[in-house]
Amino acid sequence: MPGSVVPDCSAPFDPDWTLDRLSRDGLARLCREYQMLSMFHDRALMPHVAGVGGTEATVTLADGEWMGSSPIYTRRNLANIGATGETVSSIAKGVQFDIGGPDHFLDFRFEVVSDTELFFYTEFCGPHDHLFRMTANDHDTVKLMCHDMEDRTFDATFSATNPRARCEPIYRPPRPDDFTGHHCRWRLSIDDEAAGAPPSNPSLAFMETTLAAAVDFPLGESREPGGLTDYSGPLLDWFRLEEFGQAFLVRQAKEYALDVHLLMRAAYWTVEQNWGAEFLADAAVQHRAAFAPGLVTRLRDAMGIQGDDIEAIAKIIQIDPVHVPDYTAFRVEVEDDEILVSLGECEALLDDPRSPLGLLTTTPDRPGFEHMAQAVNPRAQVSVDTPPDGAVAAWRVWIDPAAEPVEPHPLVDMVNLNDITTFDLSARPPTPVEIKPRG
């Protein structure tokens, strides 16, 4: 299906626009932006949980969301990219595609010793940099993330590829205020004497029953030549999504949106199990309101979406990763000075409602994406509308010049703290390096 492609969404709005219109470079950038939603998500939800249960509750949430989602999406990613086998190199490829380590924002590097042993480290770690600056390197808070939240979640992720994979720190934060060099260094090994996979979190059993976990994204045909069609070859140290083919990246963009959805769904389940349905209902609405402005800022910059008019809002709703392509069936149309957002029959409507998409049915007058629209123009209004033929739900979006601008959620400034909205996710220089086993 060769055809013309574009690097971003700066062209006039097109209701029939799909991800495969983007070039390889544009898709690689959008993939990284979709990965970053995992960071916005955690920053927006953790304060609610900390408010009811303190630091212990944040560890409970981290365990539930990551241990409930990462084994599923790791297996999905490895199957999609063609990384077969149970070696440490396969595990490393899974890390390179993990939403928990957005490419560039966590700059992983790998040193392979053999098929059963490697070392990895971070040249830069965005989450640690954020915590270091936000808390003035408070060692107890840093330990909470870099020890208490990672010890179980790392093993849960790696054991999805090989149940006998184990990870141990060589060093990691907290470090002295004046430390320089790598943020942390780990040894990953496959222990044939290990009893098997470490204990799973109860959230995983629930997540494996969801329709979202089994969504299939077929590989289409590239509209642009060049690039790797899979990742069955050697592990690349200088990892760049730009090295992959256009059809590969179209599917990967969908996968990243789904992976973050799985993370959010596991988080919502964990919240409800521990603090109740009423608490989740309140937190879910605030969650989307808190992360939407930062996400919109990044998407506008990455995809060349200018202005605050109705077409700019339509483009943002069209590429909102919360509306996972092929799992949901959203259509966005501009009619004069208004937008009609319609939702067709799709697996999302048949799935468990405990997810950000649950707002569409549980509180249709507040579907969630109004926060995305209002991050483009604070006078944007959203109301339920009559579904067109073939749709099951619809909303009307317009700009009311006389309306009072919507005030950002109180957590927005904290969510967006420390450069998360401006961190450079543009392409790295094209200097890939193949890793070879050490002597």
Residue ranges of the chain with per-residue pLDDT less than 70:
1-3, 432-439
pLDDT at 217 (0 to 100) = 98
pLDDT at 180 (0 to 100) = 76
Q: Against a cut of 0.75, is the pTM above it?
A: yes
pLDDT at 340 (0 to 100) = 98
Query: Which amino acid is residue 299, in one-letter code?
Result: L
pLDDT at 178 (0 to 100) = 85
What is the sign of the dihedral through the CA atoms of 289, 374, 423 and 109?
positive
pLDDT at 176 (0 to 100) = 87
pLDDT at 438 (0 to 100) = 42
The residue ranges of every structural domain in the chain are 19-259, 277-415
pLDDT at 189 (0 to 100) = 95
Length of the chain, in residues: 439
Closest CA to 296 of 50, 33, 46: 33
The CB-side HSE value for 155 (13 A sphere, CA atoms) comes to 21
Residue 260 parent element (H or E)? helix 246-275
The alpha helices in 276-420, defined as continuous H runs, are 277-303, 310-319, 347-350, 359-362, 370-376, 412-415
**Cα 127 from Cα 105, distance rounded (Å):** 8
Query: Could you tell me whether strands 330-335 and 338-344 are parallel, antiparallel, or unpaired per DSSP bridges?
Result: antiparallel
**Cα 320 from Cα 295, distance rounded (Å):** 9
pLDDT at 2 (0 to 100) = 58
Full strand arrangement of the beta sheet holding 106-114: 106-114, 117-125, 185-190, 165-171
261-310 residue pLDDT tens = 999 999 999 999 999 999 999 999 999 999 999 999 999 999 999 999 99
316-361 residue pLDDT tens = 999 999 999 999 999 999 999 999 999 999 999 999 999 999 999 9
